[in-house]
Structure 1
Amino acid sequence: MEYHQPASMQDVAKEAGVSPQTVSRVANGSNAVKAETRQRVEAAMKKLGYRSNYAARALKHGRFNNIGVVMFDTAAFGDARILNSILNAAVSEGYAVTVNTMGTGASRTIECAVSLMKQLPVDGVIVVMKERTADFDTFTPPPDLPVVLVREDPLESCPTVDADQYGCSQAVVDYLIAKGHKTVYHIAGPSSARSAQSRADGWRDALESRGIPIPSLYVGDWEADSGYQAGLSLAHDRNCTAIYAANDQMAYGAIQGLIAGGKRVPEDVSVIGVDDSLVGIVPRLSLTTMRMRFDLIGTEAFSMVRRLCEGKRVPSGIKTVIPTELVERDSVRAV
Structure 2
Amino acid sequence: MDHSQPASMQDVAKAASVSPQTVSRVANGSNAVRPETRQRVEAAMAKLGYRPNYAARALKHGKFKDVGVVLFNMLTYGNARILGGIADAANSNGYAITMQSFGRNRERTLHAAIERMKQLPVDGVIAVMEEHVTDFSEFRPPKELPVVIISEDPANYCPTIDADQYGCSAAVVDYLLSKGHKTVYHIAGPSSSRAAESRAQGWHDTLDQLGLRIPPTYMGDWEADSGYQAGLALAHDPDCTAIYAANDQMAYGAMLGLQAAGKRVPEDVSIVGVDDSLSGTIPRLSLTTMRMKFNDIGREAFFMTKRLCEGLRVPSGVKTVVPAELVERGSVRDLES
- The correspondence of residues 302-313 of structure 1 with structure 2, limited to 5 A, is 302-313=302-313
Query: What is the aligned partner in structure 2 of residue 276 from structure 1?
Result: 276
In structure 2, the CA distance between the partners of 1:38 and 1:265, relative to structure 1 (3 Å rule), is: closer
**Structure 1: any 5+ residue segments left out of the alignment?**
none
Question: What root-mean-square deviation, in Å, do the aligned CA atoms of Structure 1 and Structure 2 show?
Answer: 2.0
* Cα deviation code 1:238-278 (max 9, x no counterpart): 11110000000000000111111111111111111000001
Query: What is the aligned partner in structure 2 of residue 148 from structure 1?
Result: 148
Query: What is the aligned partner in structure 1 of residue 6 from structure 2?
Result: 6
Query: What is the aligned partner in structure 1 of residue 292 from structure 2?
Result: 292
Alpha-carbon distance in 1 for matches of 2:6, 2:221: 48
Q: 1:311 deviation in Å?
A: 1.1
In structure 2, the CA distance between the partners of 1:239 and 1:35, relative to structure 1 (3 Å rule), is: closer
Q: 1:14 deviation in Å?
A: 4.6
Query: What is the aligned partner in structure 2 of residue 171 from structure 1?
Result: 171
Amino acid at match of 2:203: W
**Structure 2: any 5+ residue segments left out of the alignment?**
none
Query: What is the aligned partner in structure 2 of residue 78 from structure 1?
Result: 78
Query: What is the aligned partner in structure 2 of residue 44 from structure 1?
Result: 44
In structure 2, the CA distance between the partners of 1:36 and 1:298, relative to structure 1 (3 Å rule), is: closer
Query: Contact conserved, 2:272 with 2:289, CA < 8 A, in 1?
Result: yes
Q: 1:71 deviation in Å?
A: 1.2
* Cα deviation code 1:107-134 (max 9, x no counterpart): 2111111111111111100011110101
- The correspondence of residues 1-335 of structure 1 with structure 2, limited to 5 A, is 4-16=4-16, 20=20, 23-28=23-28, 41-335=41-335
Query: Contact conserved, 2:138 with 2:156, CA < 8 A, in 1?
Result: no
* Cα deviation code 1:117-160 (max 9, x no counterpart): 11111110001111010112221110110110000211120100
Alpha-carbon distance in 2 for matches of 1:173, 1:28: 51
* 3-state SS of paired residue (1:105): coil
Amino acid at match of 1:195: A
Amino acid at match of 1:236: H
Q: 1:310 deviation in Å?
A: 1.0
In structure 2, the CA distance between the partners of 1:267 and 1:8, relative to structure 1 (3 Å rule), is: same
Alpha-carbon distance in 2 for matches of 1:248, 1:19: 56
Q: 1:232 deviation in Å?
A: 0.3
* Cα deviation code 1:188-246 (max 9, x no counterpart): 00000000000000000000000112101000000010000000000000111100000
Q: How many residues align?
A: 333
Query: Contact conserved, 2:137 with 2:156, CA < 8 A, in 1?
Result: no
* Cα deviation code 1:56-108 (max 9, x no counterpart): 11111111111111111110000000001110111111111111111121121
Alpha-carbon distance in 1 for matches of 2:39, 2:238: 75
Amino acid at match of 1:77: Y
Alpha-carbon distance in 2 for matches of 1:230, 1:39: 58
Alpha-carbon distance in 1 for matches of 2:50, 2:115: 31
TM-score (norm 1): 0.94
* 3-state SS of paired residue (1:158): coil
In structure 2, the CA distance between the partners of 1:84 and 1:33, relative to structure 1 (3 Å rule), is: closer
Amino acid at match of 1:183: T
Alpha-carbon distance in 1 for matches of 2:21, 2:280: 52
Alpha-carbon distance in 2 for matches of 1:103, 1:123: 22
Work out the percentage of aligned pairs sharing the same amino acid.
70
Q: 1:161 deviation in Å?
A: 0.4
